[in-house]
Chain A
Amino acid sequence: MIASKAGKRRRFVRCTGVAAALALAVTACGGGGGSGEQASGGKTTLTVTVWNLAKTPEFTALFDAFQRANPDITIKPVDILADDYPEKVTTMLAGGDRTDVITMKNVTDYSRYSSRGQLVDITDLATSADGAKLAGLPAFNVQGKYYALPYRQDFWLLYYNKKYFEQAGVKMTDHLTWDEYAKLARTLTKEKGGKKVYGAYHHTWRSVVQAIAAAQTGGDQLGGDYSFFRDQYQLALGLQKDGATLDFGTAKAQKSDYKTMFESGATAMLPMGTWYIAGILSAKEKGATDVDWALAPMPQRPGATGATTFGSPTAFAVNRRTEHADAAKKFVRFAAGPAGAEAIGKVGVVPALQSPEITKAYFSLKGMPADEISKKAFQPGKVVLEMPVSEHTSDIDTILNEEHELIMVGDKSIDEGIGSMGDRVKSEVLD
């Protein structure tokens, strides 16, 4: 009796073990590694982190152009959701991931990765003849060294719906002040057939208020005194109170999309970055929208001469732990060079490499507005870096963002909010 039980027991234990082993074996087959080490037939596979691949056409354009120029290298994009991009890449790098090329979505993340020594020093590429022509390159200077090369340079301008302007009998000018902008926004707001059209749409990012204020007043977002935000907040809250912009809380809670707001005609004006040009062009080509659009320079403070706006470059960097350093550097140089600029220019993205020919080619794109104001918008007098880079950047960014939300949902008055920004930045970060 006992013997037979023991036999059964053994069989049971064995079965359990087999089942477990089987499960794991199946797993092993199922889970192919994707670390980019596969080199089949002398071809190198280069992995590159990207975001929202399906909605960001310049990545595909760039990869195709590069592969045509370098048939021995295949590019495998690692698609990451844009919202999660910084966290995901930070985790990957912290764990020692071997993805070859890392796209620097913004300068803040770049400063973090470069200071931790996670990127390859490519100063030689940056100081070469082509490198010197790159707009936005100075933002990547870390004590005389460069760890990334910008391939595109975005800055902010004003998108507007020409149809609504005609209907309201108003005209866009090439030098709008913020007061005129507010007046236009109120005029253009209307309700038609149950459908609300806002005069303007301010996306929920803090930069919409804060970065433009800093750029145009010369205020320092890392300084700890934020009174220079005040005028811009008054404008934004005033428009919101009059129903001329979509209310912040609603926009945030329903994660509203600026593209949809503009393309579906829910707003007449939209301050936004140049990256959106590519988005509209492709939406129009696909027939997803029939919006009749044009560009204007960002509105300015009263009495300002010239057009000041803010912007930020996007760059490629080589992971320190890559196993294909040469191929990766080749790619980074290609993307920042003339061939890369041509490839992304074709899909409506503003390349970092700037020359009169590239700008001209850019405006001859199908679907680009050809009027003089649009062209003028494209040549701002001064582009200030969206957020200055220092070791405190990301902490201050968090605080400014939290207080921005509180001001915009009406939980704090402008002065309270600005006051606590200063207090918190001083007490939590600066000392």
Chain B
Amino acid sequence: MAQVITQPAPETPPRKRRAWRGVLVGWSFILPNFLGFALFTLVPMLAAFALAFVDWDSYRTPEWVGLDNFQRLLRDETFFVALRNTLYYAAGHIPLTLAAALGLALALNRRLRGVGFFRTAAFFPYITSLVAVAVVWNMLFNPTAGPVNQILQALGVDDPPRWAASTDWAMPAVIITSVWRDMGYYMVLFLAGLQAIPKEYHEAARVDGANAWHRFRRITLPCLRPTTFFVVVMLTIQSFKVLDLIVVMTDGGPGRSTLVLAQLVYREGITEGRFGYSSAIALVLFVIVLTVTVVQFRLNERRSDR
């Protein structure tokens, strides 16, 4: 299957002219997107990174402070609380969503009458607006009158969790909601990947007498690798950047129990006007995500070289 960084067979002469042509042709493809991308994403982003080394409140002239912002970060307890919460969220959200999405895709990758309905159903949470999702789940998780706890009590749980109203259960509530919401999205990606697996592979394996589990392990999973990789990378990035859902569901509370890094970036920057410090936190968050992603790329490359 495809590698992520491809190295196709080298071309034959005339090399130099071809190389130049390659540059021109390549850029001609990339340019329309790149112009917009560079202007509206790259430039502001670089500006933001530069801000990590200054003290700036958006109004006064920025003042160069070197690494002060980062030193402050090391002393800031709230930063570590947010970092821990972010890791907690990622550790719950990534594997659970991955498993749910893959499971759904496998279950729905068959030719059954009405399978379209089930696919739509599974994708439905993702197309629902976050505002509506937050409202619905907050009501579902209502500690006293909410359906979730009523069902738990009916099942014999005497002392059901207080969900968003308790520091221990607020994050699980957020994770459950986010898995429910995101799994349909990644299911579509997995479905596309599953469709790309030539049916002959499975047929041949069946003829050889491989059972379903073996076929899954030996054919489906390896063939899904590019998709799985893409999904894991996107999930990781998404998990570390989570903000919207938390803002509308718990707003970081109770206390700081669901405060995540992205929210801290927002709070320090927009609310407090400390754009330098906020950018420093963002830079650290970026480095963390980048490191994880690069590790994932390396692992992926190594495995595909095998």
Contacts and interface: CB of A to CB of B under 8 A. Distances in A.
Contact of B253 (A94, A116, A247, A405): A405
Contacts of B77: 424, 427-428
A17 to B, nearest CB: 9
Contact of A253 (B58, B163, B272, B273): B163
Nearest to B139: A254
A91 B255 contact: no
Contact of B271 (A87, A249, A406): A87
A296 to B, nearest CB: 30
Contact of B144 (A95, A250, A405): A250
B10 to A, nearest CB: 25
A252 interface: yes
B76 A249 contact: no
B25 to A, nearest CB: 12
Contact of A94 (B58, B162, B164): B58
B101 to A, nearest CB: 28
Contact of A249 (B78, B143, B270, B273): B143
Contacts of A91: 270
B130 to A, nearest CB: 14
A411 B166 contact: yes
Interface in A1-26: 20
B252 to A, nearest CB: 8
Contacts of B139: 254
B57 interface: yes
Interface string A189-208: 00000000000000000000
A403 B257 CA distance: 11
Interface string B50-70: 000000011110000000000
A395 interface: yes
B165 A253 contact: yes
B180 interface: no
Given A250-B144, A252-B254, A406-B255, A90 B273 contact: yes
Contact of A409 (B58, B59, B166, B273): B166
A411 B255 contact: yes
Interface string A22-41: 00000000000000000000
Interface string A105-132: 0000000100011100000000000000
Contacts of A395: 272
Given A117-B59, A118-B59, A409 B270 contact: no
B141 interface: yes
B167 interface: yes
Interface in B148-204: 162-167
Contacts of A406: 167, 254-255
A254 B271 contact: no
Contacts of A424: 77
Nearest to A399: B78
A402 interface: yes
Contacts of B167: 406, 409, 411
A255 to B, nearest CB: 7
B134 to A, nearest CB: 10
A87 B254 contact: no
A249 B253 CA distance: 10
| Listed residue (B57, B164, B253, B254) with the most chain A CB atoms within 10 angstroms of its CB | B254
B138 interface: yes
Given A116-B273, A394-B272, A409 B142 contact: no
A219 interface: no
Contacts of A427: 77
Nearest to A411: B167
Nearest to B57: A116
26 contacts: A20-B32, A87-B270, A94-B270, A94-B273, A116-B57, A116-B60, A247-B165, A249-B164, A249-B165, A249-B166, A250-B143, A253-B143, A254-B139, A394-B272, A398-B267, A402-B256, A405-B253, A405-B254, A406-B254, A406-B255, A409-B162, A409-B166, A409-B167, A424-B77, A427-B77, A428-B77
Interface of A: 20, 86-87, 90-91, 94-95, 112, 116-118, 247-250, 252-255, 394-395, 398, 402-403, 405-406, 409, 411, 424, 427-428
Given A249-B165, A411-B255, 13 more contacts: A90-B271, A90-B273, A95-B58, A116-B57, A247-B165, A252-B253, A253-B138, A253-B142, A254-B142, A255-B138, A406-B254, A409-B162, A409-B166
